[in-house]
Structure 1
Amino acid sequence: MGEGKPYYHKWLAIILNARNGMDSLESKVIGYPEVRDHLKLACQTNPKDFTIQHMLGKWHYEMANLTWFQRFLARYFFEEPPKSNFEEAYKYLNKAEELLPRTYLPNVFLLGCACIHLGQYYRAKYYLNMAINLPTHSDCDKCCSTNAKRLLAKLEKYDLGKDLLYESYHNFGFTS
């Protein structure tokens, strides 16, 4: 169904994701695998589509970001939610960023968040700084920018200040 139509799976995934978001938690948990499957088929059909890459990255980020307690509740009441990891999320979000660099603030923000989860704090600072410097066009953009500022404040300890760059601040056996 829809194999010959390049945008069929993309739009079906978008519609299913929107519908599941408005329905109950149960339909959302049960619908996650179907959304993922349509996104993957859409990605195979059109790998250079920014929206597909971003949605796949966001999907993987959301699945990887579920706490053990959220997974427990979903498994107990509905079914086991799909598993993912932040490496997959980063891969798809980065691909989206390569396709349309610095155009969609939520994508840049999620890249920064994924880097934090991966322990790549300097890279996270790069993306979060980019997120706060991009123009905001919507409430979602403003929220991402505000959250990026909050996360950057927490990452201040990972600053490459002048004390790390100049030997006179360290006295590595040098006389100054």
Structure 2
Amino acid sequence: MFIKVFASAALFLVSAVSFAQTADEMVEQARQLEKQMKDDAALSMYKDALKVQPDNIAALTGASELCSREGFRATEKEEKSRIYTEAKSYAEQALKLAPENADANYVMAVAIGRIALSSGAKEKVAASKEVKRYAELAIKFNPKYAKAYHVLGKWNYEVANMNALEKAAAKMLFGGMPPATLQDAITNYEKCRKMDPSFLPNYLELAKAYKENDELDKCIEVLRKAVTLRPIYQDDLGIKSSCKKMLEDLE
């Protein structure tokens, strides 16, 4: 009897390990599909991994980040909202399982930021504080998290350029917003560039910040570098094209 129980327990452990390995393999396949610019297939693979192992953090964070990208590309407002809500849901699940996971905090910052883009002034301001909080937590748990610095740079840029209605909402809700400047945005974007020189979205936003800050020479230098980079992810082609157009307009 003991032998049978032991054998059953051993079989259960082997099965659990097999499922975990299978989910991890699916995550790796999804990451490769992302680099092949096949985001739809990658997202589907992340979701399949979650069917096998619902608590796989890498699958949850991967699915969340891809949903945020997919939502940004969607043209219908309702579709955007649905996909962004899904992105946030995956991030919430990841944070519940691993609150100190840098990826989980990063994808939550991204999801909330995406939702804020299509929100009213009050909602946008409230979300903005959460974006900053989660981006800073991602950096706290991984000080070399390049994309989290990019999000923090974007936060500084957006807050520094808030319109009168948004500033009024911030004052009413929170008594104002934390200080943010274009220079803060540039500093964070430059940290991102140093840590991950291949991350194309950062170049476009850094160039915009330099232009806004009347540093055209640096803006042009960033754009010239951007157009030489190899696109890695699906959105990189459009971002590189935007960099090229912006450079042509300036030169």
TM-score, L = length of structure 2: 0.51
Cα deviation for residue 120 of structure 1 reads: 3.2
| Match in the other structure for 2:248 | 149
Match of 1:128 among 207, 223, 227: 223
Greater helix content: 2
| Match in the other structure for 1:14 | 110
**SS in structure 2 at match of 1:116:** helix
Letter in 2 for 1:147: M
| Match in the other structure for 1:97 | 193
Cα deviation for residue 26 of structure 1 reads: 3.0
Aligned residue pair count = 146
Larger Rg: 2
Question: What per-residue deviation string (whole Å, max 9, x for no partner) do you get for residues 12-68 of structure 1?
Answer: 2122112222333431222101111111111111121121111111221222233xx
Across the aligned residues of Structure 1 and Structure 2, the Cα RMSD in angstroms comes to 2.4
CA distance in 1, matches of 2:101, 2:220: 40
Question: What per-residue deviation string (whole Å, max 9, x for no partner) do you get for residues 56-107 of structure 1?
Answer: 11221222233xxx1x22234x333634111111111111111121x23331
- Structure 2 unaligned runs (5+)? 1-95
CA distance in 1, matches of 2:111, 2:118: 11
**SS in structure 2 at match of 1:134:** coil
Q: Tell me, yes or no, if structure 1 residue 79 matches structure 2 residue 182.
A: no
What is the correspondence of 1:1-176 to structure 2 with a 5 Å cutoff? 3-66=99-162, 70=163, 72-76=164-168, 78-80=169-171, 82=177, 83-101=179-197, 103-135=198-230, 137-150=236-249, 152-153=250-251
CA distance in 1, matches of 2:227, 2:101: 38
**SS in structure 1 at match of 2:102:** coil
TM-score, L = length of structure 1: 0.69
